[in-house]
Amino acid sequence: MTLQDMFSKIDLLFSSTPLEGPEQMALDEILLHQASQPLLRVYCWKGPCVTFGYFQEWKNVSSSFPGRLLVRRSSGGGSVEHDGDNTFSLIVPAIEPIGKIAPALLYEQLHQALVQVLGEFGLKARLIAAHEIRTGEACFQSPSLNDVVIENHKIAGGAQRRCGGKLLYQGSLNLLGQKKLDNGEIKVGSVELYSQIVKPLFFSLAAHLSMRVELLEEQPSWIAEASILAAKRYRSIAWTHRK
Residue 17 region, left (φ>0) first, then alpha (ψ -120 to 50), else beta?
beta
Helix axes 21-34, 220-229, angle to 10 degrees: 120
CB-CB contact of 51 with 79 (8 Å)? yes
Whether the CB-CB separation of 166 and 99 falls below 8 Å is answered with yes
Strands 39-43 and 10-14 turn out to be: parallel
Which contiguous run of DSSP H or E holds residue 178? strand 178-180
Question: Which amino acid, one-letter code, is at 213?
Answer: V
The pairing of strands 10-14 and 213-216 is: parallel
Amino acid 132: pLDDT: 78
Residue 78 sits at φ, ψ, to 5 deg, of: -105, -170
pLDDT at 16: 87
How many Å is the maximal CA-CA distance in the chain? 53
For the beta sheet containing 10-14, the strands, ordered from the edge strand earlier in sequence to the opposite edge, are 125-127, 148-150, 153-163, 166-173, 86-92, 39-43, 10-14, 213-216
CA 238 to chain CA mean position, Å: 25
For the chain, which residues score pLDDT lower than 70?
1-5, 84, 135-142, 176-196
Is the C-alpha dihedral spanning 114, 212, 7, 221 positive or negative? positive
CATH number of 3-240: 3.30.930.10
The Cα–Cα gap between 207 and 144 comes to: 26
pLDDT of residue 179: 43
- List Cβ neighbours of 101 (8 Å cut-off, separation of 6 or more): none
Q: Which amino acid is present at 214?
A: E
Q: How far is 38 from 94, CA to CA, in rounded Å?
A: 10
